[in-house]
Amino acid sequence: MFESLLDRRVRPNIYLGLPTSSLFEFPPNPHPDPLPAPLTERTWEQPFNIPPALYAKLLDVRVPITIASVYAVTVVIVNRINKSRGNKPWGISKTRLFKAFVILHNVFLAVYSAWTFAGMFQAFRNSMPDRDDPNGIVGVADALCKINGPRGLGNGAMFNPTTERWEMPNTQYKLAGGVPDPTDVGRLWNQGLAYFGWIFYLSKFYEVLDTAIILAKGKRSSTLQTYHHAGAMMCMWAGIRYVAPPIWIFALVNSAIHALMYTYYTLTALNIRIPNRVKRSLTTMQITQFIVGTAMAAIHLFISYDIPVSIPSGLSPRHKATAVAAASSAAESGIAAATAAAGSLGPWLKKLAFRAAGAEGIAENVLNAQGQHFGVDAVHSAKLAEARTAAQHALEYRTIDCLDTSGQAFAVWLNVMYLLPLTYLFARFFVRSYLHRKDPNAKHPTHIQNAEKAGMDALKGVSREIHRAVFEMHGDGSSTEEEGSSTPRAQAYEASVKDAMNAQQKKVDEKMSKTTSDPEKIKKVDDEAEGFSKVPAKGRGKRSKKGPEASPVEESNPFGVLEPEKNVNGAPSS
């Protein structure tokens, strides 16, 4: 019955614009304090509760800084030690216990990452608005920007940096001790981000064992490896410490990638061959994760949207008149009930007496034996109270930023600055590993291959000398037809030599283009190229049966290119 006090915007909107300068404060405002994960009954999603004191203590900034610094310095030192030792594996890396540890380490991280992804996916799904939600994309933005409080547009808890207090735009919901109620459901933090995100932050400390395994094998830990692990510690810390909304991207997507990655590591530790396309796909997924994650995190800084909020306002005379008219229309129907509720005629007679005397205001305030209004005044009072409440808590749309505090903005910028170089490093690794080489086993020519090529060049020289000797034996072919001294067999020999040498050179070129890295394979090809075959293992020392004695030319002709031409019956041609 009252006119709507909603502003002219019929539906909420979403906007893109530059972030406010207050979000760029550094060092960031330490408020609000960390919000611990809710304490609930044990389930597969939350098999144990995290003590609030421990939750806050491990989010002290000194924890990740100390661990990341010690880790980076240790890697640099051990890299130098390994280099001085010729990058030889340490003794412990050759033990069965070490190999078992590597397998168990990868299995544990694969299972843990899969569990985190499953829990975060469930939390994400439970926090999203329904498909038929009338607020559309604005409802999705609100669910991803305000991660504390009950579900629904405008119901999320917000932190006011000016007053340094949490607020609830919807007055129907209350805070619990000045902070968002941990029993509220429907938003990411209480649905699982607080729990899974905190444990995922701690897992970054454990993942440095990846580097320890590499160093124990005598290998060099790359800059990419060190930067990746140290940066991940700081980024996860900032996101959970400042309750930054975009940190769900890290916990959800990165856990999925890690589940696949550590499964791959487990298979390789078990000596199971993995196709090259799988390795390439994993690297591609990591690069895609960095690019998409960077864009999604950064866009939180530029988003604002409308929410309905309760705005206190005074009761206008028009509202009062409307309320009185409504009360009068309902007076006749309510008199009988109100009179019965009076309990006695005393208050009723008193009210009539005051009205007869013209004291209308006093008559309205006469109460029955129960201390309540009765009669027409009871209906009037109820309607007026309802109108006052409705007018005092009218709704209107207000535009708010996606991020509330400088701490949340700091977490976003830290993640963006971390992911951009990481994307470059992974892309460089991808190009060097998969694009510059057609085959993962392809290498530069080895010393054996270079020696083989030199041998072929020498063989060409020897063949040329034999070629000259043949012409000396059969004539140089310079005589004319009249003299009849030209030698057709010499021309045939020359063609045979050329054909054989071309075929042999083609063989070597094909082998060189393959650039195989297998020494045994190279040796085998070498033997075949040079016309040799292996001596059987048995009877190596036995003297073979003596065959026909070969001519000097045949002994110097292992390829058979200088054999006399034969006729169809196998006899030497004349």
**pLDDT per position as a tens digit, 412-454:** 999 999 888 877 877 777 677 666 555 545 555 555 555 556 5
d(CA 555, CA 271): 49
3-class SS of residue 571: coil
The closest of 503, 521, 476 to 561, measured between CA atoms, is 503
Q: Is residue 115 scored above 50 in pLDDT?
A: yes
Task: Supply 295's token pair.
Answer: 């864009």
- Opening angle at CA 366, ends 362 and 372, nearest 5: 140
Residue linked to tokens 């540890």: 101
Amino acid 371 reads: G
The closest of 335, 5, 305, 16 to 137, measured between CA atoms, is 305
Burial class (CB within 10 angstroms; exposed 0-12, middle 13-18, buried 19+) of 339: middle
Most confident of 256-270, 301-315, 364-378, 532-546: 256-270
Predicted local confidence at residue 437, as pLDDT: 58
Residues in Cβ contact with 48 at an 8 Å cutoff, skipping those fewer than 6 apart: 42
Maximum pairwise Cα distance, the chain = 165
Predicted local confidence at residue 303, as pLDDT: 94
3-class SS of residue 371: coil
Compute the average pLDDT of residues 382-391.
Answer: 56
Compute the average pLDDT of residues 499-509.
Answer: 67
Tell me the backbone φ, ψ of residue 42, rounded to 5 degrees.
Answer: -70, 130
At residue 223 the predicted structure's pLDDT band, cuts being 50, 70 and 90, is confident
d(CA 74, CA 96): 25
Compute the average pLDDT of residues 202-228.
Answer: 92
Q: Note whether 376 and 325 are within 8 A (CB).
A: no
Predicted local confidence at residue 19, as pLDDT: 86
Predicted local confidence at residue 112, as pLDDT: 97
Residues in Cβ contact with 146 at an 8 Å cutoff, skipping those fewer than 6 apart: 156, 157, 158, 187, 245
- Opening angle at CA 516, ends 513 and 519, nearest 5: 135
CB count, 10 Å around CB of 244?
27
Query: How many CA atoms lie less than 13 Å away from 99 in the CB half-sphere?
Result: 10
d(CA 158, CA 398): 13
Residue linked to tokens 């031409």: 565
d(CA 463, CA 269): 52
The closest of 313, 120, 159 to 244, measured between CA atoms, is 159
Q: Which of 281-285, 307-311, 502-506 is predicted least confidently?
A: 502-506
d(CA 400, CA 245): 15
Q: Tell me the pLDDT tens digit for each residue of 137-161.
A: 999 999 999 999 999 898 999 999 9
* Higher pLDDT, residue 319 or 41: 41
Q: Note whether 33 and 56 are within 8 A (CB).
A: yes
Q: Which residues of 149-183 are buried (b: 16+ CB within 10 A; e: fewer)?
A: bbbbbbbbbbbebeeeebebbbeebebeeebbbbe
Amino acid 521 reads: K
Predicted local confidence at residue 131, as pLDDT: 86
d(CA 360, CA 14): 53
Compute the average pLDDT of residues 528-547.
Answer: 48
- What angle, rounded to 10 degrees, do the helices at 317-329 and 376-392 form? 140
d(CA 101, CA 503): 54
Q: Which of 113-122, 155-164, 191-200 is predicted least confidently?
A: 155-164
Most confident of 95-109, 325-339, 460-474: 95-109
Predicted local confidence at residue 353, as pLDDT: 67
Amino acid 506 reads: K
Amino acid 343 reads: G
d(CA 572, CA 235): 85
Helices and strands (H, E) in the chain, number of each type: 21, 5
Torsion sign over Cα 352, 355, 359, 364: positive
Burial class (CB within 10 angstroms; exposed 0-12, middle 13-18, buried 19+) of 481: exposed
Predicted local confidence at residue 283, as pLDDT: 83
3-class SS of residue 69: helix
